[in-house]
Amino acid sequence: MATTSSTTYDPTSTATKLATAYTAGRQAMITAQSSRAMAQSKALTSLSSAMSEFSSALSSFSTQKSMVANSAKFDANVGTATASSTAIAGTYNFYVERLATAGQVSYGGVTDTAAAGSGSLNVVLADGSNFNVNLTNSDNNHDGLLTAQEIASAINQAADNNARVTASTLTVNGEPTLVLTAGNTGADNAVSLDTSGITNVDLKAILDDPAKQQTLVAAQDAVVWVGAQNTGTRVQQASNTFNLVDNVKMTFTRAQSVGETPATLTVGLDKTTTHANVQAFVDAYNKLSTTLANLTAPGDPASGKDPGPFAQDSGLMALRSRMTATLRQLSGGQSLPTFGITGQRDGTIALDSARLDKAITANPAALDSLFGSATVNNESGVLGDLDTLTNQWTNSVDGQLNQRKSSVQKQQTSLSDRQAQLDDQYNSAYKRYLSQFTQLQTLQSQMAQNTGLFDAMFSKSDS
């Protein structure tokens, strides 16, 4: 008797295929939505970083007060000078007769003396100020002796010293020497010691010995002449830093010799630094603009270029449009293109250095007026308007970035919940199919055994 074969099912693989097919449509939808949510989350992180960096740049430009920089330079090696953006161009002559110095004195032969009952030491400055140093508890190693090093330490740590005097020690010709150096320059900071409070006779005798005292550096004021020595205007002060020219700081580092020609200070526009300041703005703007362009790119199916994660996003497209409009504003009839800052087709901006150079030479104040400031409660000009725009996105309370991040996070949570539900449905379907095809497999096995019996029976009958 002939028998026909039937299809054999593997319960596990068959249940897997059917359960997968049962959930495939919904799984594809959740996977696609999860991919989009993940891409948007990464894009928001990138956007947040770019906008935060741009906000910091705006703040930095505002802190420096001006995009226009001035320079101040000497024609001789007498010191350095810096000019603020409000300094007026001009030339000035200065003769440096004397530099201010910090007084320094030494007390030699400060050998070890008994620490007990040492009393106190008074450090006095030439301006009449002073501070007290308690020596009684200055034996740091508790060996019963007071050394030059321990006296120096006590002076430095005195509560009222406030860095007015620094004490140190030297070994000169085999003898320990106490050295006192004023913390500030000028004649009023000459240092001396009042030993009337010292009860240790030996220590008092050592410090009061005129033969052991020496002025290493005389404390003196700086003397500078506006103009030539003896014929110009004499200016004397304790510091080597002078503010004789409005909005210019000069620090002198070398005294001139008698008869030497006065040094000429030239104050004027620093075009190189001004160009660098404006270029820094251009670079910061372009970095954010490029990030926005990439995130909102429409894509190009013909070339296989995928759209950005925020393609056609109305909020970001409006931000780009408003940023561009901000650059077109006028101030006193002037605009950024006047200073060589022009828009490009891709949304970035470019700087024409020659045009900038010409414009700031003619009217440097107009550039600062255009840029304005992004300082809190004092926003103005391009910087202020751009800061207002970015703050609408970066504000930690109600900014667009936080709202969008929160929305994406909620979406990702919802998708995780939906995925969990779908996994449960898959598992349920898998178990159902597995049970059904396991039963079918059992039935097929029984039928195969019965068929074998029938074949055997009829085979014997035929014979």
Q: Same domain, yes or no, for 124 and 212?
A: yes
Looking at the domain assignment, is residue 452 inside a domain? no
pLDDT above 70 (res 7): no
Helix (H, G, I), strand (E, B) or coil at 346: coil
Quote the mean pLDDT of the chain. 90
Q: Are 193 and 207 in contact (CB under 8 A)?
A: yes
Residue 461 resides in a domain: no
Write down the pLDDT at residue 8: 66
State the pLDDT confidence band at 1, using cuts at 50, 70 and 90: very low
Pick the last residue of a domain from 378, 401, 424: 401
In a domain, 145, yes or no: yes
365 Cβ contact partners less than 8 Å away, ≥ 6 residues apart: 68
Task: Verify that 360 and 277 share a domain, yes or no.
Answer: yes
Q: 117: which 2 tokens?
A: 């009952």
Residues 188 and 320 in one domain: no
Give dist(CA 112, CA 120) in Å, integer. Answer: 16
pLDDT tens figures, 313-339: 899 999 999 999 998 887 777 889 999
Q: Rounded to whole angstroms, how far apart are CA atoms 243 and 159? A: 33
Look at residues 448, 454, 450 and name the one whose alpha carbon lies nearest to residue 1: 454
Domain span holding position 207 = 104-217
Shared-domain flag, residues 190 and 326 = no
pLDDT tens figures, 11-39: 899 889 998 998 999 999 998 898 888 98
Contact 208, 199 (CB under 8 A): no
Residue 359 has pLDDT above 60, yes or no: yes
From residue 417, how far is each of 31, 403, 430 by CA, in Å?
Answer: 13, 21, 20
The yes-or-no verdict on residue 441 having pLDDT over 90 is: no
Residue 436 located in a structural domain: no
Contacts of 10 (CB under 8 A, 6+ apart): 437, 441
Look at residue 84 and tell me whether its pLDDT is greater than 50: yes
Query: Considering the domain boundaries, does residue 288 fall inside one?
Result: yes
Shared domain for 231 and 84, answered yes or no, is: yes
Q: How far apart are CA 83 and CA 101, in angstroms?
A: 25
Are both 299 and 246 inside the same structural domain?
no
Residue 303: Cβ within 10 Å count: 6
Whether residues 328 and 370 fall in one domain = yes
Coil, strand, or helix at residue 146? Answer: strand
96 shares a domain with 112? no
Q: Is residue 373 situated within a structural domain?
A: yes
The pTM of this model reads: 0.70
The pLDDT of 354-370, averaged and rounded, is 90
Q: How far is CA 38 from CA 32, 102, 103, in A?
A: 10, 65, 68
**Inside any domain, residue 458:** no
pLDDT over threshold 80, residue 453: no
Residue 407 in domain: no
For 334, the 3-state DSSP assignment is: strand
Q: Among the three residues 386, 401, 416, which one is the final residue of a domain in this structure?
A: 401
Same structural domain, 287 and 167: no
Residue 459: what pLDDT? Answer: 67
Number of domains within the chain: 3
Q: Are residues 212 and 114 in the same domain?
A: yes
| pLDDT tens per residue across span 372-384 | 888 777 788 899 9
| Last-in-domain residue among 346, 369, 401 | 401
Q: Are residues 75 and 160 in the same domain?
A: no
Q: Classify each residue of 193-211 as buried b or exposed e, where b means 16 or more C-beta atoms within 10 Å of its C-beta.
A: bebeebebeebbebbeeee
Spatial distance between the Cα atoms of 31 and 98, rounded to a whole number of angstroms: 80
* 165 and 86 assigned to the same domain: no
Please give the full DSSP string across 241-261, using - where no structure is assigned: EE--STTEEEEE--PPPTTPP
Contact 412, 36 (CB under 8 A): no
User: Would the pLDDT of 283 be above 50?
Assistant: yes
